[in-house]
Chain A
Amino acid sequence: MLTAILIMALGAIVLGAALGYASIKFKVEGNPLVEKIEAILPQTQCGQCGYPGCKPYAEAIAEGEADINKCPPGGMEGVRKLADLLGREVKPLDAEEKPKQLAIIDEQLCIGCTLCIQACPVDAIVGAAKQMHTVVESLCTGCELCVKPCPVECIRMEPIAEKIDNWKWKYPVFEIKPARRAA
């Protein structure tokens, strides 16, 4: 009887020690789920989801605080991917889906206040105090964060035009014609 208890107790101690050691030694830094969610998000850092950036939103989704349909730049496809990853239900997007856009500064109107430079989350606007500012097209994510701070309303958003470089073959669709009546 006693030996049985001793053996069980010993086993419990050894296994407990092993588990305790493993939990310290092989501790996972950060939440791997957050990284997977963040990889799906479009990284525009626009804050339209109500969180200050894509990472905080990813963390909120992982915590179960936020819904998966709050990211307009990601679109319906982003929602579908998130639903796939998290095993949640696909929901319609909580906002209007817009085509990808680009911020353009009207350089004639710009007064050089640097407010947009401070607002840009990806440092895509160049300029200096009392000097004209401009957007580096290839870096702009179209987050619209620079539009509001501008005191002279010289920033507008324009959808990215289709060019030969970014043109895509369309999904094959065929016209349906009414069948010709015999005779």
Chain B
Amino acid sequence: MLQRLFKFKGGVKPATNKAPSVQAPIRIAPIPPRLVVPLHQSIGGQPTPLVEVGDRVLKGQRIGAADKWVSAAVHAPTSGTVIAVEERVAAHPSGLPTLSVVIETDGQDAWIERHSFDHASLEPERVREILRDSGVVGLGGAVFPSHVKLTPAASVPMDELVINGAECEPFMTCDDLLMRERAEGIVRGVAIFRDLLRPKRVLIGIEDNKPEAVAAMQAAVEALGENFEVVAVPTRYPAGGAKQLIRVLTGKEVPASKRSPEMGVQCFNVATAYSAWRAIAFGEPVISRIVTLTGNVEQPGNWEILLGTPMQEVIALAGPKADTNRFVMGGPMMGFDLPDLSAPVVKATNCIIAGSPALFPPPAPEMPCIRCGACALACPHELQPFELYWFSRSRNFGKAQEYNLFDCIECGCCSYVCPSHIPLVQYFRFAKSEIWSRERDKNMADAAKARFEFRNERDEREKAEKAERLAKAAAAKAAEKKPAPAETPPAPAEAPAPQTVDAEAAKKAAIAAAMERARLQREAAQPKNTDGLTIAQRKEIAEIEKRRAPLQAQQQTTPNADAAQTQNSQKDQQ
């Protein structure tokens, strides 16, 4: 059957520059002496560390546990010893540090015990849990936890499952090589996704500039007897964007207000499918990924690199040329300059490009916008980048949102075609993060206001209660005073001494009993704020407890001594 293809609007055709890095097969990178594994490698919550300094870890051992549903676990990429759990520079445009586990490798590469699963016999919920605990996330670059996407929408039947092998970014070839060499694993991974989502059709979209990958995938689908359709889509950046590929393959347009499952479509990257298959069939979590090393290097190619390998060691594998002046993580269209080469490879690192002034000439000076509209023609989301640019530039963020700033996928087509060389995407990124930060501030202000109002209310209530209490007490006193003289005078003179001693003893016993009860209660009450503490906090608590122990022991002995003393003095009195 001939697949009918659709088109998305806009897009550009930059030089692909893919040829240099597809000559060699995927090579396995050596194990570096030290790995820096950031705990927060996916969208969602930050995993909680499970290891402490000095722990020995095995390859594939979980070192960070997912803290909520939208989050994914992190694992030790090889065996070794944890030498630090601390803030280390992240592979992030800011160059700021993030909590990471530093592992000194031992070179043995000893695996933890692995269990393979038969996903067909397991509950779908359990399969999703396995994927989360294996750290399977979208390896196309967005690193969204895959198990979350594998829950079909309740109301809409799943029509199509789209597998994204388009890889539209120039320079990047990691998915291409993966499809050529490990097509069978990908197809088996897609079958797992198919069994979880139960779509009517499975479409594998690959750009038509990768005929070898298309052929390999087709052969694998036939060999495994699956009915997936491998479709070559026209090469046009950004055909690999999820919404664009869905549009090309199914003709469905996902509106801004909806997610693709609500339209009956879901989209996964080929590398994600492969890692899901490794996780289910071999019990191997995501501990490495294929990274394209290309650009201004001696040996461009694709390497399977352990997560956490510092960038400088990765780059040394390819041998950057002498005039290299920058390194870009990701593609030239959407990537960012690495601020620090000690940052590690993470799940989102699909490509590292060495840049030189010849390869990426410095940007021409920004000129005024001439309203030519080229950006609007190139925008694959049919936005009006020139309008967004005006509003972002003048910090008119409300208006920018009205013009659907948040539909922008930052693909860079508008900046690419702009004849005035305006870095449009940078303005959009600036506007987006500014809007997010304002929203955070607004939420905090609202919370502060609510707390302030509650506090005022409480203060007033307490004041009123106190006034009422005082009034009552005054009334009672007044009432007492009146009948007091009528009563017979107290002070019965007979035998006061033994009674008072008895009363005192009874009082003391009551106090002792009360203290004992309080102590038991204290011991019975479980402290509630000790869950989810970091290792540093736990250590601090342990130290404090150690300091407190002798003091507490002292306290427990002193009351007894006091009691003995008072008893003695009583005896003396008698």
Instruction: Write the residues of chain A forming the contact surface with B, with a CB cutoff of 8 angstroms.
Output: 38, 41-45, 53-54, 121-124, 139, 141, 162-164, 166-172, 174
14 A-B interface contacts by CB (under 8 A): A42-B445, A45-B448, A53-B452, A139-B447, A164-B40, A164-B96, A164-B97, A164-B98, A166-B440, A167-B94, A168-B433, A169-B426, A169-B430, A171-B430
In the docked arrangement, what's the CA distance between A41 and B452, Å? Answer: 14
Nearest residue (CB) in B for A41 is B445
In the docked arrangement, what's the CA distance between A105 and B96, Å? Answer: 26
The A interface is mostly helix, strand or loop, or mixed, namely loop
Chain B residues with Cβ under 8 A from A167's Cβ?
92, 94, 96, 433
In the complex, the answer to whether A169 meets B432 with C-beta atoms within 8 Å is yes
Is B451 an interface residue when CB atoms closer than 8 A count as contact? yes
In the docked arrangement, what's the CA distance between A135 and B539, Å? Answer: 20
Point out which of B365, B432, B440, B451 has the most chain A C-beta atoms below 10 A from its C-beta.
Answer: B451
Is B114 an interface residue when CB atoms closer than 8 A count as contact? no
In the complex, the answer to whether B451 meets A123 with C-beta atoms within 8 Å is yes
Chain A residues with Cβ under 8 A from B98's Cβ?
164
In the docked arrangement, what's the CA distance between A168 and B449, Å? Answer: 25
In the complex, the answer to whether B433 meets A44 with C-beta atoms within 8 Å is no
Nearest residue (CB) in B for A140 is B448
In the docked arrangement, what's the CA distance between A123 and B448, Å? Answer: 9
In the complex, the answer to whether A169 meets B451 with C-beta atoms within 8 Å is no
In the docked arrangement, what's the CA distance between A45 and B456, Å? Answer: 12
Chain A residues with Cβ under 8 A from B40's Cβ?
164
Nearest residue (CB) in B for A141 is B448
Partner of A122, one of B96, B433, B452: B452
In the complex, the answer to whether A164 meets B92 with C-beta atoms within 8 Å is yes
| Contact A168 to B90, CB < 8 A, known contacts A43-B448, A43-B452, A45-B452 | no
Is B423 an interface residue when CB atoms closer than 8 A count as contact? yes
Number of A-B contacts (CB under 8 A): 65
Nearest residue (CB) in A for B441 is A42
Distance to closest chain A CB from B453 (angstroms): 9
In the complex, the answer to whether B445 meets A172 with C-beta atoms within 8 Å is no
Chain B residues with Cβ under 8 A from A172's Cβ?
423, 426-427, 430
Chain A residues with Cβ under 8 A from B441's Cβ?
42
Is B444 an interface residue when CB atoms closer than 8 A count as contact? yes
Point out which of B93, B96, B437, B441 has the most chain A C-beta atoms below 10 A from its C-beta.
Answer: B96
8 pairs of A and B residues whose beta carbons are closest in the complex: A43-B445, A169-B429, A168-B433, A122-B451, A172-B426, A167-B94, A43-B449, A43-B448
Chain A residues with Cβ under 8 A from B448's Cβ?
43-45, 122, 139, 141
Is B455 an interface residue when CB atoms closer than 8 A count as contact? yes
Distance to closest chain B CB from A35 (angstroms): 11
| Contact A123 to B96, CB < 8 A, known contacts A166-B437, A168-B430, A169-B433 | no
Chain A residues with Cβ under 8 A from B94's Cβ?
162, 164, 167
Distance to closest chain A CB from B348 (angstroms): 13
In the docked arrangement, what's the CA distance between A41 and B432, Å? Answer: 22
In the docked arrangement, what's the CA distance between A164 and B97, Å? Answer: 7
Distance to closest chain A CB from B400 (angstroms): 14
| Contact A174 to B366, CB < 8 A, known contacts A122-B452, A139-B451, A169-B430 | yes
| Contact A162 to B96, CB < 8 A, known contacts A43-B448, A43-B449, A123-B451 | yes
Is B434 an interface residue when CB atoms closer than 8 A count as contact? yes
In the complex, the answer to whether B430 meets A170 with C-beta atoms within 8 Å is yes
14 more A-B residue pairs beyond the given contacts A38-B449, A43-B446, A169-B430, with a C-beta to C-beta distance below 8 A: A42-B441, A42-B445, A43-B445, A43-B449, A44-B448, A124-B451, A141-B448, A164-B96, A164-B97, A167-B92, A167-B94, A167-B96, A169-B426, A170-B430
Partner of B449, one of A54, A123, A163: A54
Distance to closest chain A CB from B100 (angstroms): 12
Interfacial residues of chain B within 69-102, with CB under 8 A of chain A in the complex: 90, 92-94, 96-98
In the complex, the answer to whether A141 meets B365 with C-beta atoms within 8 Å is no
In the docked arrangement, what's the CA distance between A41 and B434, Å? Answer: 18
Partner of A121, one of B366, B430, B455: B455
In the complex, the answer to whether A121 meets B452 with C-beta atoms within 8 Å is yes
Nearest residue (CB) in B for A42 is B445
| Contact A141 to B96, CB < 8 A, known contacts A121-B455, A168-B430 | no
Chain A residues with Cβ under 8 A from B93's Cβ?
169
In the docked arrangement, what's the CA distance between A121 and B437, Å? Answer: 23
In the docked arrangement, what's the CA distance between A169 and B447, Å? Answer: 26
Distance to closest chain A CB from B43 (angstroms): 13
Interfacial residues of chain B within 309-349, with CB under 8 A of chain A in the complex: none
Chain A residues with Cβ under 8 A from B432's Cβ?
169
Nearest residue (CB) in A for B451 is A122
Chain B residues with Cβ under 8 A from A41's Cβ?
445
Partner of B365, one of A44, A45, A163, A174: A174
Nearest residue (CB) in B for A138 is B444
In the docked arrangement, what's the CA distance between A25 and B126, Å? Answer: 60
In the docked arrangement, what's the CA distance between A122 and B458, Å? Answer: 12
Chain B residues with Cβ under 8 A from A162's Cβ?
94, 96
In the docked arrangement, what's the CA distance between A139 and B447, Å? Answer: 8
Chain A residues with Cβ under 8 A from B97's Cβ?
164
Chain B residues with Cβ under 8 A from A122's Cβ?
448, 451-452, 455
Distance to closest chain B CB from A39 (angstroms): 9
Nearest residue (CB) in B for A126 is B529
Interfacial residues of chain B within 449-476, with CB under 8 A of chain A in the complex: 449, 451-452, 454-455
Nearest residue (CB) in A for B458 is A123
In the complex, the answer to whether A141 meets B444 with C-beta atoms within 8 Å is yes
Chain B residues with Cβ under 8 A from A169's Cβ?
93, 426, 429-430, 432-434
Nearest residue (CB) in A for B427 is A172
Chain A residues with Cβ under 8 A from B445's Cβ?
41-43
**B 354-370 binary contact with A (CB < 8 Å = 1; else 0):** 00000000000110000
In the complex, the answer to whether B455 meets A123 with C-beta atoms within 8 Å is yes
Chain B residues with Cβ under 8 A from A38's Cβ?
449
Chain B residues with Cβ under 8 A from A121's Cβ?
452, 455
Chain A residues with Cβ under 8 A from B446's Cβ?
43
In the docked arrangement, what's the CA distance between A169 and B430, Å? Answer: 5
In the docked arrangement, what's the CA distance between A175 and B40, Å? Answer: 33
Distance to closest chain A CB from B89 (angstroms): 10
Distance to closest chain A CB from B207 (angstroms): 30
In the docked arrangement, what's the CA distance between A162 and B440, Å? Answer: 14
In the docked arrangement, what's the CA distance between A42 and B429, Å? Answer: 25
Chain B residues with Cβ under 8 A from A123's Cβ?
451, 454-455
In the docked arrangement, what's the CA distance between A164 and B366, Å? Answer: 29
Chain B residues with Cβ under 8 A from A166's Cβ?
437, 440
In the docked arrangement, what's the CA distance between A44 and B427, Å? Answer: 30
In the complex, the answer to whether A164 meets B90 with C-beta atoms within 8 Å is yes
In the docked arrangement, what's the CA distance between A163 and B97, Å? Answer: 8
In the docked arrangement, what's the CA distance between A166 and B96, Å? Answer: 11
Nearest residue (CB) in A for B426 is A172
